[in-house]
């Protein structure tokens, strides 16, 4: 088997929830040994939130190992239960970090101070260490100890202000988007840059990734528009200033769609030819010559009426059929897919084999997100399902920390190892 690009590296994963663990999982997917440090005294809340796996009788499984949320973001890791609120727990944490190449945390500076995990403390025991910190608002500044998740970051960074429909309150993006995409992606990129520096110089360094500043990058042109033009971009629904129509239109219900039968197709017309093609496909060629819609300016001026007509015309179409018919005529169009579509129906995703199925000792066989990128010579691999809480405590203590069985038993009795 081809050696993975990060094989031989060890990551001390002292993070929790989404932004940190997802970045660490990417490192594990490409070969790093990731030791996830956890504790039942301060359980990662993702271990106890839905969706949960089902029992044979249809009831939800319970416990710390049944959450699909947690499992999907922690594949390929080792888990040790370690109580960092004890002096001996902090000493053991140091011994893991001493034997690691990368340290990762997204706790606030207050917690880092409590557990003695500041870079100057860690680099003293491991000068080659790359220590990556991703607190919500940075290691210093007036808001350094503020807590938050993606659902907090989207309003704080201005994303929510731009999400929704005009004359309605901001609605955000409906998910903790920064946690899954922006922050872990930037964190992994920064860690790889620091690794390259270490390979050249032999020196480790501190990586600070304030999630607030990372997510602001997702605003696109909003800040530049204000800087150059004094314009504050706000909510525009599904509309786009350079396309008309630019909308999600309702199609025929699909009773096989789990949860909700409603189906939609997104359509975008950037020129009159594309609009004419839409009219032909939908059997209303006369609308292309209607003075209200014949030109881009006219369609923009009558966008409400335009979208109302489109929704009438598309209401009986099967979403996939409409998408294919429009695409065949050169019109940008796509089904507004749900999770069922992505996992079970999308032929492209199936052909590429994006989702990987892994066997978990408590939840059984389940789909996991695949590697976020594909390397031709060293493709990423999800080697194991997510670990049970503390599943590898003995292995980590013996193989990495160097403890004897008697020492481990004593530390368990003391509540240092749980």
Give me the active site residues, please. Answer: 179
Burial of 253 from C-beta contacts in 10 A (0-12 / 13-18 / 19+):
middle
Burial of 87 from C-beta contacts in 10 A (0-12 / 13-18 / 19+):
exposed
Give the helix, strand, coil percentages of the chain, each rounded to 5.
40, 15, 45
Q: Tell me if the bond preceding 51 is cis, omega within 30° of 0.
A: yes
Q: Which residues have C-beta within 8 Å of that of residue 142, sequence separation ≥ 6?
A: none
Q: Report the candidate in 379, 367, 363 with the shortest Cα–Cα distance to residue 67.
A: 363
Phi, psi of 60 (to 5 degrees): -80, 140
The DSSP bridge partners found for residue 247 are: 267
Q: Report the candidate in 33, 25, 40, 76 with the shortest Cα–Cα distance to residue 389.
A: 40
* Tokens (6 digits) for 379: 């493709």
Residue 149 CA to residue 203 CA, distance in Å, equals 32
């Amino acid at each position: 088997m081809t050696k993975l690009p990060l094989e031989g590296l060890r990551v001390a994963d002292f993070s929790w929830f989404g932004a940190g663990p997802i970045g660490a999982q990417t490192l594990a997917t490409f070969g790093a040994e990731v030791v996830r440090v956890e504790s039942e005294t301060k359980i990662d809340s993702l271990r106890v939130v839905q969706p949960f796996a089902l029992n044979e009788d249809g009831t939800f499984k319970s416990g710390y190992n049944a959450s699909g949320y947690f499992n999907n973001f922690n594949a390929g890791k080792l888990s040790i239960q370690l109580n960092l609120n004890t002096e001996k727990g902090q000493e053991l944490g140091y011994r893991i970090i001493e034997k690691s190449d990368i340290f990762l945390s997204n706790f606030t500076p207050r917690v880092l101070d409590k557990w003695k995990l500041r870079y100057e403390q860690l680099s003293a025991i491991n000068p080659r260490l790359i220590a990556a910190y991703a607190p919500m608002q940075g290691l210093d500044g007036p808001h350094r100890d503020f807590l938050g998740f993606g659902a907090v970051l989207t309003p704080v960074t201005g994303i929510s202000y731009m999400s929704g429909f005009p004359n309605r309150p901001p609605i955000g993006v409906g998910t903790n988007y920064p946690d899954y995409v922006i922050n872990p992606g930037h964190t992994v990129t920064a860690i790889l840059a620091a690794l390259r520096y270490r390979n050249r110089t032999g020196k480790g360094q501190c990586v600070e990734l304030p999630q607030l500043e990372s997510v602001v990058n997702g605003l696109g042109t909003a800040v530049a528009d204000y800087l150059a033009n004094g314009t504050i971009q706000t909510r525009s629904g599904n509309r786009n200033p350079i396309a008309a129509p630019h909308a999600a239109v309702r199609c025929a219900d699909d009773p096989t769609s789990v949860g909700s039968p409603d189906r939609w197709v997104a359509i975008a017309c950037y020129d009159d030819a594309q609009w004419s093609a839409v009219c032909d496909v939908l059997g209303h060629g006369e609308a292309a010559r209607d003075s209200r819609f014949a030109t881009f300016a006219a369609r923009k001026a009558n966008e409400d009426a335009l979208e109302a007509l489109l929704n009438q015309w598309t209401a009986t179409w099967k979403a996939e059929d409409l998408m294919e018919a429009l695409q065949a005529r050169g019109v940008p169009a796509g089904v507004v897919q749900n999770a069922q579509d992505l996992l079970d129906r999308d032929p492209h995703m199936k052909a590429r084999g994006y989702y990987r199925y892994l066997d978990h000792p408590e939840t059984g066989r389940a789909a996991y997100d695949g590697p976020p990128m594909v390397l031709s010579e060293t493709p990423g691999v999800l080697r194991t399902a997510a670990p049970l809480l503390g599943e590898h405590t003995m292995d980590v203590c013996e193989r990495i920390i160097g403890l004897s069985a008697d020492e481990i038993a004593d530390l368990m009795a003391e509540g240092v190892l749980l």
